[in-house]
Every structure is written in C-alpha cells, then in structure tokens.
Structure 1
Amino acid sequence: MRTRKAALVGALCAGLSVALTACGSSGGEDPDAGTNGVGKLDPAKIQDKARSAARDSSSVHLSGSVVSQGRTYKLDMRLKRDGGTGRVASDASTFELLRVGDELFLKAPAAFWSRGGKDAKGDGAAAAGKLEKKYVKVPAGDPAYQQFKGFTDKNVLLDGLIGLHGKLARGDHGTVAGARTIRVNGAGGSGGTLDVSLMGTPYPLRVQRAGGAGQLELSDWDKDFALTPPPKQDTVDYGKRIPSTGEGSSLPAPAK
C-alpha cells in the first residue's frame, strides 16, 4: 500500500513539474528562465539595451502623462522614423499634431488659437474661427516648429524620456500589459524607473519620470500604421509664420 501511495505521489509531482520547480519546493524558480536574458545584466546595460531597442525600432505607441512647470500634459502619440501623429492635452488646452517627413500640421479648437491674441492681420477672433478643426501647416522657420516637432520625433522624444537619474539599480521582476519585465531604478526610484521587456527584443514598456514628473506606457513596437498628409480642403497654410498659439514656453520639453 505504501509503495502504491509513493508511486502516486511521485506521478503527481511529475505532472506538476511544468509549473513547479520541484514537488515541495518553495520559491526556487529562476525569474529569468525563458527570457531574453537582460534581467541578469547590470542596470546600466539594461538601460542601454532598452535605449538601443527604442532607437532601432520602426514605430511605437506612447501614452501617459508628462509634468512640466507644474502643469500635467497627457500624451497619446503614435511615432515612426519619418513622422508621427497624436494628441497633447492639458487642463488649459488640447491640440493634435501630424508630421509627415518635414511637413508638420497642428489642429486645435478655437479656444486654443484665441489664447494667442491677434493674428497677422490683427483679428484674433477671426483667426480662431478660421483655424478651428483645420490642420494648420507649421512652417519650418516658425519659432514653434521645433517645439511642436519634438512631440512627433520618435528618437528625440524617447531619448529624453528613457534616461534615468542618479545611481542605477536593478529592481524587481514584474509584468506590464501581460509582458514579463525587469525594472531599473534611478536613485532608489526618485530618479525614475524603467520597465524593460524580458521577452524578445528588450523594449522599454513603462517609464516613470524622475521627481514624479509623469508616467508613460510604450507599446505596439514595430507595428506599422498609416501616416499621410491631411486633405488640402482641411489644411490652412499661413506661409512663413502661424498665429501665436499662446502656449509659448509653457509646453513641456520632453527631450531634456
């Protein structure tokens, strides 16, 4: 009888071996088993691999919040090597951006444009009404061009967001959107945290910025999407300079 019971217990243990390290074992599993191996690297190397993977990718979906000068901006951007599209919103304003190559377009409600005062002809109300629901082409020579373009430039935006501050340390294993990750902490977490995928390419999947300056999710790596200029009937070209947006230096500078 004892022999039969021992055989039964042995069979049960064998059947559970896929899920357990050993029958009766407690916490002996390797958290990096079956992964891409970056979880065993030094934290600086993990961050470097995540940055390289981000730079080499063809596209990404970035969403979350960035805190700048006491104001919280919500970002929802889809980015490619040659442009991007999406929305930036705060409690004061909301606008959409679309860049195809060097062509940059800004779309916003009338309230966004009216904050900037008068247009080139001196009539702010008329300009706001004219521009609402239109894609306004931002000329490359306009002071706002580089500022707005930064939100549609994949490498510029990601380079500014992924970097951690202070001494780096390898954190816990976890999951982000179902994907297994390893966390890197900067200055014990106060310098930001970075969750890097342990499956396949070590893409950054979540960034918590230093000093509580926002959190962003990074997904849909290398998933292509359509990126085309808006229809001409929906576009306004102001020439060398667009009306003032009223945003000025209050916009966040994610690349710094």
Structure 2
Amino acid sequence: MTGFLSSGRARRAALPVAICAGLATMLTACGEDPDAGTNGVGKLSATEIKRKAQTAADGTDAVRLSGSLVSQGQTYKLNMRLKESGGIGSVTTKNSTFQLLRIEDALFLKADADFWDHAGGHSEESAEPDDTDTEVAGKLQDKYVKVPEDDPSYKQLSGFTDMKTLLDGLLTLHGKLDKGARDKIGGVRTIKISGSEGDGGTLDVSLEGTPYPLQLVRAGGAGTLTLADWGQDFPLEAPAKGQTVDYGSRLPGAEGAEG
C-alpha cells in the first residue's frame, strides 16, 4: 500500500511539471523569430525591401528569366538567359516559337518554317502562304538568320535579350507598397511585397543570401515571371557558318515577327 501511494503521489507531482514543460515549449515556439537564419530583409519596410531587391538586381551580371509576358495585346512565353553582353533563349507566341541569340550588337534569329510562313505575310483572301513564302521558309527554317540592325524587327527582338531593359521595365510595382506574407519560390524562402494591395503587382524577394527578386506577378494580369540563376555566367558563341543564312538587309515580313 505504501508503495502504491508513493507511486500515485509521484505521478500526481509529475503532472503539473509536464504541463508546465509543454506550455514552455508552446511559448517558445510562438515566440520564434520568423527571420531567424534569413538575410534580415523581412524585418524591413516594403519600400526598403524593394530598394534592396533593385540594388541586388542592378549589381549582378547574369540572370535567367522565364514565364509569361503580356505586352501590347500579345502574350509571350520566355525562357531567356541574359547578361550585359547579350542573351540566348526562346520566345513563344500564339503562332510559333523562335530562338534568339545576341552577342553584343549581333542578333541572330532561328525559327521553324511556320514562323517564316507567318512572318512572310499572306493575302487577305487566304490564310495560306503562297509559293514564294513556302520557298523562303524552306531556306530559313532551323537556320540562324542574322537580323540587320536597321531592320524594323531588330529593336523589338533584341529587347528580349537586353537584361537591363527587361529588368528596368519589369521590376516595377505600381501604387503604395505593402509587405505581405512569407512564401517559398523554388524552395527558397521569400517575402512578398506588392503595389496597391496586389493590384499593382507582387514581387517575391529572397530571404536567403542576397535579396534577389525571384518572382514577379505583373499588374493587370500582364504575366508571371520567375527570375533565377542570378550571377551565374554562361557562354555566348556565334553560330557556325554552316548554321547561318545571310538574308540581306531586311528580313521577310519583319514586322510580322511579333507573332
């Protein structure tokens, strides 16, 4: 009996100790710093976070840009690697997919026959390419065509390969900036900032390492873009002579290259 009572008293005495220990654990968890182990930008205001992200983007020399971009009624799907001296990657429009390669001022375009059929233009009576279009498309398909700098399409196409122009135009939030929830993009912890409560776009900024922008949801449903491989260099090499076609001073239906 004595042993039984002693055991019961021991269990009763242990109960409040266990409760206190559980409460202590809960209180510790509730008091955890959500920014522990991060770069600390989550503690800053939305304006300061935006400034940090912009500074990080301006200070790097390479990035991969992928996702959708809506511009002037056209939807583009991009997968581009960019740096100051040029870029390489693919652009998909409603009608076709084409590849771009720019090394300094030299811009090369490679596309399939469908792209050149659309670029060549069709008569109003028929959506089908004529024999001349088909002949041209056959010569140009899957070859790198050097885009003349005075061609009407040069500025638009080269814009897809211009890191500074793209980032300056894309990393913009409109309206009053607000700080939002924490999230993860590609397994990396982020903090969201938005303009006009999300109507002005939302930007995810890395909470790990350098506070690079990692994802942008553009205002007005104008696309979602992921930014990755910041600072990771990549080679840019001119295509071999056998892979190129010199079409002359102007591409066929150059203004049609917008898709």
Whether the TM-score (by the shorter chain) exceeds 0.5 is yes
Whole-angstrom CA distance in 2 between matches of 1:55 and 1:9: 54
**1:114 touches 1:245 (CA, 8 Å); kept in 2?**
no
Is 1:139 the counterpart of 2:148? The answer is: yes
Please provide the CA RMSD for this pair.
Answer: 2.5
Whole-angstrom CA distance in 2 between matches of 1:134 and 1:221: 30
**1:115 touches 1:246 (CA, 8 Å); kept in 2?**
no
The answer for the alignment partner of 2:246 in structure 1 is: 237
1:36: Cα distance to partner?
1.4
Is 1:128 the counterpart of 2:127? The answer is: no
The answer for the alignment partner of 1:213 in structure 2 is: 222
Whole-angstrom CA distance in 2 between matches of 1:2 and 1:223: 61
1:33: Cα distance to partner?
1.9
The answer for the alignment partner of 1:43 in structure 2 is: 46
Amino acid at match of 1:237: D
Is 1:178 the counterpart of 2:187? The answer is: yes
Residue among 34, 38, 48 paired with 2:37: 34
TM-score after normalising by structure 2: 0.84
Is 1:57 the counterpart of 2:66? The answer is: no
Task: Provide structure 1 residue ranges, at least 5 long, that are not aligned to the other structure.
Answer: 14-20, 252-256
In our comparison, the structure showing a higher alpha carbon Rg is 2
Whole-angstrom CA distance in 1 between matches of 2:225 and 2:256: 22
The answer for the alignment partner of 1:86 in structure 2 is: 89
The answer for the alignment partner of 1:23 in structure 2 is: 25
**2:151 touches 2:254 (CA, 8 Å); kept in 1?**
no
- Identical pairs, percent: 54
Structure with the larger helix share: 2
What is the number of equivalent residue pairs in this alignment? 239
Amino acid at match of 1:101: E
The answer for the alignment partner of 2:169 in structure 1 is: 160
TM-score after normalising by structure 1: 0.85
Task: Provide structure 2 residue ranges, at least 5 long, that are not aligned to the other structure.
Answer: 1-9, 122-130
Amino acid at match of 1:96: Q
